[in-house]
Structure 1
Amino acid sequence: MSAQLPARATASLLGLALGDAFGSQFFVPANHHALSSRHLPPGPWQWTDDTEMASSIYRVLADHGAIDQDRLAASFAARHDFDRGYGPSTNRLLRLVREGGDWRSLSAELFDGKGSWGNGAAMRVAPLGAWFAGDLAHVVRQAALSAQVTHTHPEAVAGAVAVAVATAVTATEPDLPAGRFLDRIREHVPAGMIHDGITEARQLLTISDPALAARMLGNGRQVAAHDTVPFTLWVAARERHDFEAAMWTTAAAGGDVDTTCAIVGGIVAAAEDVHLPPEWRSRCEPLPDWAGAPVDDR
């Protein structure tokens, strides 16, 4: 029997998909002028692997009420669309899982046994944080389980934990000042590069230039969790109550724009007072039917 997901988890998934699809438009050179003018790129906007994998997390939560790693790995592999922009190592891992490989050994063996520290676990996790909002210790445990299916490196897991906690805090503590918001996240992130990046993001809250913040924190250009997550939390801390401002601020930093916008979109959309702009949604590719997400009219 399927569990009933809270509306905030659906909203987070929709925000993630919208951010992903919006950000993906800036890999098209003809759309670069839109950043300075803040004119929406023409539709339709297609989402990427970020949304496809987030939809699997949402589906597993809907069906089982928690992360079942075997079922999540199977869903990632079965839904894997090569044309959605997956990285080479993930493409190979999911292909091998489809062919009967053990995801545990395949994930652990990546990068000479160190595991991937990429941003893939962080990019897909926001709806999980919204689903378990109200129990941050459980958010941490479930986010780690979701990450380990493809990313076993501690920094990748820490990145997923940070994004999931940020989403949960956005949903349940909307009035936190920006600095305290980052403090709440950092309390649940183990020592390491992600933790240090959140500390630096807090110190940069006094600046308003996203390009400058990204030069200090990273913008995902390295496709690493520690090069991606701190900047997205800096944006979310500043723009949690304005989806459009959050998206334009994130995109202005360049880098792995679909992923940074997906992370920020998933966090910000979990806030009850945030409404996804209808004009943006009309340009965005719908979520896959198999995700089973109900229509959210916010």
Structure 2
Amino acid sequence: MQQPNLLSKFRGSVLGGLVGDCCGEPYEGQVLTDGDKAILRRSLNQLEGPYFKAPAKKYTDDSAMTRSVIRCLIEHKDINTKELATSFVKEHAAEPNRGYGGAVVEVFRKLLKNKFTDIVGPAQEQFLGRGSYGNGAAMRVSPIGLFCYNKPEKLVELVKKSAEITHSHSLGINGAVLQAAAVNICVQKDPKTFFHDEFLSELIPKMQELEKESEVPGIKASGPNFTQQLKEVKTLLDSPNPLSEDEVLNALGHDVTAIYSVPTAIFIFLRAQGPIEGIQSENPFRRTLEYAISLGGDTDTIASMACSLTGALHGDSLIPENLLKHCEAHGEFIELANKLYESSI
């Protein structure tokens, strides 16, 4: 396996996110039985095999909003919050049946009502003023990790600007930073010398520093933070015994909250760099995709985030060409990845 060039890594991450979204969507919210997993395996094998004409696998709000982020970065070489918010609202208005959650639709309604004069206010009003701690900001943020490959000092600033349009809770924002930072590290790594210990040893201190900054003096958080979840990821990966899916899900979760999905996606990505019992593939991308979906839960978003990481590490050469062809708008996303790369350098 050769070290992929930078353009290949950009394409791998963008297209990996699209494939994970499109292939994960039909299984969202499910608990997959052994029979379901066998059907999933046959379906992925068929999609990877000789190309056949079939209706394209549709992308969800994950990819729709990711596309808006990419376009904003290409046009402005920055996150222009008003332009990005406008793009989100226009995308939803044009195609509202992409799986948008009710909370974000309410944010869009308020942005239209105030004519984009207050970009962050509607998000701050969510959930009795606490803000959303869902994974909606994290699911669309991988392009920022790519864009900042040579300017990592800008990453947190750009992620926060992109997140605050819909998420004001620290867990929602920090989850987005975690996903972007993970992509940013992957872009810079050689897959031939990649080890999860080294990866986590870079990522954990970044989150420790970030979470220390967002602590409220005198108030102790009621649940785990991302640093603790990443340490749990390391514990699971270092386990000498085979891990059951229940052990993984009990430790990390797989729901729509950022704290119980972003670390899960990172674990899946790291676990899939080696063989996984029951997944008969030597391709790390295929292992990532199948394993992410097989765990159930918020499959489209978790698979999208995990596959974006694998794509950022290995490049687009590992994404089966015929599988990609079955995904809606794949040609457009290839062009966007190319333009994002050009804008970034």
Provide the rounded CA distance (Å) in 2 between the counterparts of 1:93 and 1:123.
17
Distance 1:28 1:107 in 2: 25
Equivalent of 1:35, from 19, 27, 37? 37
Does residue 51 (structure 1) correspond to residue 54 (structure 2)? The answer is: no
Deviating 4+ runs (over 6 angstroms): none
Aligned-partner Cα distance in 1 for 2:306–2:134: 17
Quote the sequence identity (%).
26
| TM-score, normalised by the number of residues in structure 2 | 0.77
State the distance in 1 between where 2:306 and 2:140 align: 11
Q: Quote how far apart the aligned CAs of 1:56 are.
A: 0.5
Q: Structure 2, unaligned stretches of length 5 or more?
A: 1-5, 48-53, 212-223, 274-282, 340-345
Q: What aligned pairs does 1:1-298 form with structure 2 within 5 A after superposition?
A: 8-27=9-28, 33=35, 35-37=37-39, 38-40=41-43, 44-80=56-92, 81-99=95-113, 100-101=115-116, 102-174=118-190, 175-189=193-207, 190-191=210-211, 193-205=225-237, 206=239, 207-220=242-255, 223-240=256-273, 242-274=284-316, 275-287=318-330, 293=336
Greater C-alpha Rg: 2
CA distance in 1, matches of 2:71, 2:128: 32
Whichever residue aligns with residue 183 of structure 1, its letter is S
Q: Distance in 2 between matches of 1:291 and 1:278?
A: 12
Q: Give the TM-score taking structure 1 as reference length.
A: 0.88
CA 1:127–1:9 in 2, change beyond 3 Å: closer, same or farther? farther
* 1:136 Cα offset (Å): 2.7
User: Can you give the 5+ residue segments of structure 1 that lack an aligned partner in the other structure?
Assistant: none
Displacement of 1:270 in angstroms is 1.3
Shifted more, 286-295 versus 171-180: the winner is 286-295
Matched-pair contact (CA < 8 Å) for 2:14–2:337:
no
Cα deviation, 1:38-72, whole Å, max 9, x if unaligned, reads: 11267531110000000000000011111111111
With 181-190 and 280-289 compared, the bigger mean Cα shift is at 280-289
Q: May I ask how many residue pairs the two structures share in their alignment?
A: 289
C-alpha deviation, 1:131, in angstroms: 1.7
Deviation by residue 1:193-216 (Cα, 9 ceiling, x = unmatched): 122111111111135444421221
Instruction: Measure the CA separation in 1 of the matches of 2:156 and 2:29.
Output: 36
The whole-number CA distance in structure 2 between the counterparts of 1:184 and 1:36 is 36
Alignment partner of 1:92: what SS? helix
- Corresponding residue number in structure 1 for 2:215: none
Alpha-carbon spacing, 1:294–1:183, altered in 2? closer, same or farther (3 Å): closer
Offset from partner CA, 1:154-188 (integer Å, 9 cap, x none): 11111001100111111102333112212212221
Q: State the one-letter code of the partner of 2:270.
A: A
1:58, 1:127 within 8 Å by CA — same for their partners in 2? yes
Structure 1 residues 249 and 290 mapped into 2: Cα distance closer, same or farther (>3 Å)? Answer: closer
Is the CA contact (8 Å cut-off) linking 2:10 and 2:315 kept in structure 1?
no
